[in-house]
């Protein structure tokens, strides 16, 4: 009995025993999945939208604001740069998302990275480049940073109660909800972000044009935006292709796209083109990769070489042209075929009072004006309260001037320190605040000269207070203050446009249709993947075909130079090419290595080459297990110029052989057991799916498999009926002695 009570006591002391006292613990409840999603996913989605990816009216996301405010508190508006690692560490007091995320934010805001038209961070060291994905930034312990001069426009008003402050994530510090920017920074720098079910993509505009547009809009709410705002302006420069209808759409709705072209110069001496500015959506590596791809597919034949010559002086992509190429015509072609011309998609989605809204330029500027009016009103109120308090103190001090000796006597004759303030209040008829101020005056300042100097400011303060009250009660006066600030910012920080606007352009380039010469050729493909194309007319004069040691030449194929070539590989892929893509050659050379020319993967080998004049007929795939798949050749035709198709045939079973037939015909399946099966492909229904598994056509024992397939030649078998089956699958027949003799001479 005692043992049982002890066990019960141990069970009750177990942590699991506590669950008995937790309401609902251990119970499985049925819940509607939509309620679960709403209760759990929606708060996450709203957090991402409101606190991560979408910028607010001051132009910043929370991560940007926390970083810049930390740098401001560190005194980095003046002085020299400090280590980035120091800044990152201090920022974690406001932003707990890790040093890597904070440093990446700093990198993008820096002048060295060249992401922003008006960078907020002055950088020292390697901060990478926005136009190159390979030019990575150095670690934070190696680089240095401080705030750029333009940040004065973000923080000069912040101590005048212009914006609200809230607790940081652990309630140990205060941080601003917005920054009191003195210009519409939201439209002066590119901002992109992807939230949940929504995104934001804001183009950058020239600071002077934005300030002029804002001023014009404050003076006239019906101002036409396009009269003062020409087009977006990007940090990377380039040419903006002016399309009035599209720009008006962006100005009105906040949605649309802007075409940006790369800027280039032609060096006549070296016959080369130097590209020095590219669209903001492109990188130098992407442009070069695309050019190389077009050269390999023979869509560009005017280039001798392309290389990246970017150095400390800036971006430069050099293209060496062939002799006689017109650079203007060539660049028109490049704009069409490469990212040298790209579109910046606009989606002006910003947070207005905690709510995501897509606005046009006019709508954003009106919201910013309203926001800035609020900041100015709060600043004036702050200064007004400050001056009123100062005036109140000076009026109390002026009463002391009437009898300084009396004030000294009251202080001297008061026995208790706590009675000094009440006695001064009674003696001079002043309130507690004024009495406290008088009592704190140093003994050396209790003279007529000091007091007279101080109370001289009373009249000036009264005039200033009256002026501030007048301004506070008039929106037009506050707008004049904002206009003056905008004019100052424009004059101080404008450095001209970086992106040049082009109006009349020749956009009529059409991709050249290359006429492929039509003449008979003979193709020679080896087992190891070397191909030779020899003109049939020259074949008589050719000697023995040269091949590598250990290689073997497959049967030759006569075709036209215009025919399509389909190379099926052992990885169930097909690579499409044309006979014209291979140069005419002769028997004494090895030929071109097809895997290298078509960029096949390592270890990928050609198992069959089909030659098609048009996409008619069928591809026959015979698998080692006796199955046969018949695929319509049209399944390999593509409307685009794709050169590689995956799942070209089924990968479920090992492939014995592939054969292309123009129309249904007799084929012979040969098994490892020595049996042959003669079937007509018309008995098999064609499939539109390339990787169909097919149907069983030949019965095989477990130890046997199909070894080869070939087209039937009339007279190949003495008794053809022996090998042709009425129903499939069939086992086929063994060759007779006569048939063996025929096979040997076939």
Give 504-516 pLDDT, tens digit per residue.
776 555 555 456 7
Q: Under a CB-based contact definition with an 8 Å cutoff, are residues 264 and 333 in contact?
A: no
* pLDDT for position 10: 43
pLDDT at position 17 over 80: no
Q: For the chain, give the percent of residues with pLDDT over 90.
A: 64
Q: What backbone torsions phi and psi does residue 657 show, to the nearest 5 degrees?
A: -165, 150
Please tell me the pTM assigned to this model: 0.68
Residue 552, number of CB atoms within 10 A of its CB: 9
Please give the sequence-ordered ranges of beta strands (E in DSSP) within 506-648, or none if there are none: 520-525, 530-535, 557-560, 564-569, 574-578, 592-593, 606-612, 618-623, 627-632, 644-645
- What is residue 24's predicted lDDT score, i.e. its pLDDT? 64
Decide: 676 and 636 in contact? Cβ < 8 Å: no
For 275-304, write each residue's pLDDT tens digit: 999 999 999 999 999 999 998 888 888 899
CA atoms within 13 A on the CB side of 707: 9
What's the distance, Cα to Cα, between the start and end of the chain in Å? Answer: 99
- Per the CB < 8 A criterion, the answer to whether 229 and 210 are in contact is yes
Smallest CA-to-CA distance from 49 within 40, 57, 39, 61 is with 61
For residue 28, pLDDT over 70 is answered with yes
Is the pLDDT assigned to residue 5 strictly greater than 80? Answer: no
Q: Using only the alpha carbons of the chain, give its radius of gyration.
A: 41
pLDDT at 508: 53
CA 129 to chain centre: 14
> In whole angstroms, how far apart are CA 374 and each of 69, 214, 383, 391, 571?
20, 16, 14, 25, 66
Extract the tokens encoding 628: 């046969």
- Determine which of 434-443, 458-467, 473-482, 692-701 has the lowest per-residue pLDDT on average: 434-443
pLDDT for 191 equals 92
- pLDDT-derived band of residue 625, with 50, 70 and 90 as boundaries? very high
Burial 82-93 (b: 16+ CB within 10 A, else e): bbbbebbebbeb
Question: Within 13 A of 157's CA, how many CA atoms are on the CB side?
Answer: 26
- Answer whether residue 19 shows pLDDT above 60: no
- Nearest CA to 227 out of 215, 241, 239, 240 is that of 215
Q: Which helix (H) or strand (E) holds 122?
A: strand 121-124
CA distance 469 to 479: 15
Phi-psi region of 42 (alpha: psi -120 to 50; beta: other; left: phi over 0): alpha
- The pLDDT of residue 131: 93
Q: Is 180 exposed, middle or buried (0-12, 13-18, 19+ CB in 10 A)?
A: buried
Identify whether the C-beta of residue 214 lies closer than 8 Å to the C-beta of residue 365.
yes
Instruction: Quote the CA–CA distance of 538 and 586 in Å, as a whole number.
Output: 8
CB atoms within 10 A of CB 108: 22
Beta bridge mates, 564: 578, 612
Distance CA 119, CA 204 (A): 12
Phi, psi of 168, deg, nearest 5: -75, -175
CA distances from 429 to 395, 405, 419 (A): 11, 16, 15
User: What residues are labeled active site?
Assistant: 142
SS (H, E, C) 52-85: HHCCECCCCCHHHHHHHHHHHHCCCCCCCCEEHH
Question: Coil, helix or strand for 616?
Answer: coil
């Amino acid at each position: 009995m005692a043992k049982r009570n002890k066990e019960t006591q141990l069970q009750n002391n177990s942590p699991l025993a506590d669950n008995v006292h937790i309401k609902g613990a251990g119970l499985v409840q049925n819940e509607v999945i939509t309620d679960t999603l709403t209760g759990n996913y929606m708060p996450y989605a709203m957090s991402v939208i409101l606190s991560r990816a979408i910028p607010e009216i001051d132009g910043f996301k929370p991560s940007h604001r926390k970083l810049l405010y930390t740098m401001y508190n560190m005194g980095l508006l003046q002085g020299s740069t400090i280590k980035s690692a120091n800044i990152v560490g201090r920022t974690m007091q406001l932003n707990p998302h890790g040093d890597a995320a904070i440093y990446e934010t700093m990198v993008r805001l820096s002048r060295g990275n060249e992401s922003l038209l008006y960078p907020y961070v002055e950088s020292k060291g390697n901060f990478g480049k926005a136009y190159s994905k390979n030019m990575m930034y150095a670690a934070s312990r190696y680089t240095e940073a401080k705030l750029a001069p333009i940040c004065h426009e973000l923080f000069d008003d912040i101590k005048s109660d212009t914006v609200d402050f809230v607790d940081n994530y652990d309630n140990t510090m205060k941080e601003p909800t917005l920054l009191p920017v003195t210009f519409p920074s939201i439209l002066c720098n590119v901002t992109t972000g992807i939230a949940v079910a929504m995104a934001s993509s804001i183009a950058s505009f020239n600071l002077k044009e934005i300030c002029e547009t804002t001023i014009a809009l404050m003076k006239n709410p019906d101002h036409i935006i396009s009269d003062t705002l020409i087009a977006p302006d990007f940090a990377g420069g380039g040419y903006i292709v002016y399309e009035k209808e599209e720009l008006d759409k962006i100005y009105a709705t906040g949605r649309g796209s802007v075409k940006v072209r790369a800027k280039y110069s032609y060096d006549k001496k070296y016959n080369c083109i130097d590209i020095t500015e590219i669209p903001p959506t492109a990188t130098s590596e992407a442009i070069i990769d695309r050019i190389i791809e077009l050269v390999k597919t023979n869509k560009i034949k005017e280039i001798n070489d392309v290389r990246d010559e970017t150095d400390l002086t800036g971006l430069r992509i050099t293209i060496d042209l062939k002799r006689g190429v017109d650079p203007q015509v060539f660049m028109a072609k490049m704009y069409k075929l490469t990212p040298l011309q790209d579109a910046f998609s606009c989606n002006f989605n910003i947070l207005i009072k905690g709510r995501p809204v897509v606005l046009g330029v006019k709508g954003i500027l009106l919201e910013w004006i309203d926001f800035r009016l609020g900041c100015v009103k709060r600043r004036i109120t702050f200064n007004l309260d400050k001056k009123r308090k100062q005036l109140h103190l000076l009026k109390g001090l002026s009463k002391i001037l009437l009898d300084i000796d009396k004030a000294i006597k009251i202080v001297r004759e008061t026995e208790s320190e706590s009675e000094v303030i009440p006695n001064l209040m009674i003696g001079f008829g002043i309130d507690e605040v004024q009495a406290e101020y008088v009592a704190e005056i140093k003994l050396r300042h209790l003279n007529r000269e000091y007091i007279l100097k101080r109370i001289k400011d009373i009249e000036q303060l009264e005039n200033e207070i009256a002026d501030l009250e007048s301004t506070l009660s008039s929106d037009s006066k506050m707008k004049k203050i904002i206009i003056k600030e905008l004019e100052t910012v424009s004059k101080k920080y404008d450095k001209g446009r970086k992106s040049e606007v082009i109006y009349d352009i020749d956009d009529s380039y059409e991709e050249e249709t290359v006429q492929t010469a039509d003449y008979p050729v003979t193709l020679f493909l080896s087992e190891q993947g070397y191909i030779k194309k020899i003109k049939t007319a020259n074949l008589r004069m050719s000697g023995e075909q040269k091949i590598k040691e250990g290689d073997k030449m497959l049967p030759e194929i006569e075709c036209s130079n215009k025919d399509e070539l389909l190379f099926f590989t052992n990885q169930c892929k097909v690579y499409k090419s044309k006979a014209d893509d291979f140069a005419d050659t002769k028997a004494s050379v090895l030929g071109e290595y097809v895997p290298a020319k078509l960029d096949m993967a390592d270890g990928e080998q050609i198992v069959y080459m089909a030659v098609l004049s048009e996409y008619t007929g069928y591809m026959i795939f015979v698998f080692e297990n006796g199955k046969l798949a018949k695929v319509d050749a049209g399944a390999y035709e593509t409307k685009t110029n794709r050169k590689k198709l995956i799942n070209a045939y089924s990968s479920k079973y090992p492939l014995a052989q592939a054969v292309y037939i123009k129309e249904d015909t007799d084929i012979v399946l040969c098994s490892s057991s020595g049996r042959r099966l003669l079937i007509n492909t018309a008995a098999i229904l064609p499939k539109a799916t390339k990787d169909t598994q097919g149907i069983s056509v030949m019965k095989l024992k477990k130890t046997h498999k199909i070894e080869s397939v070939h087209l039937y030649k009339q007279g190949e078998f003495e008794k053809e009926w022996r090998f042709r089956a009425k129903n499939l699958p069939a086992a086929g027949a063994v060759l007779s002695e006569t048939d063996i003799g025929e096979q040997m001479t076939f």
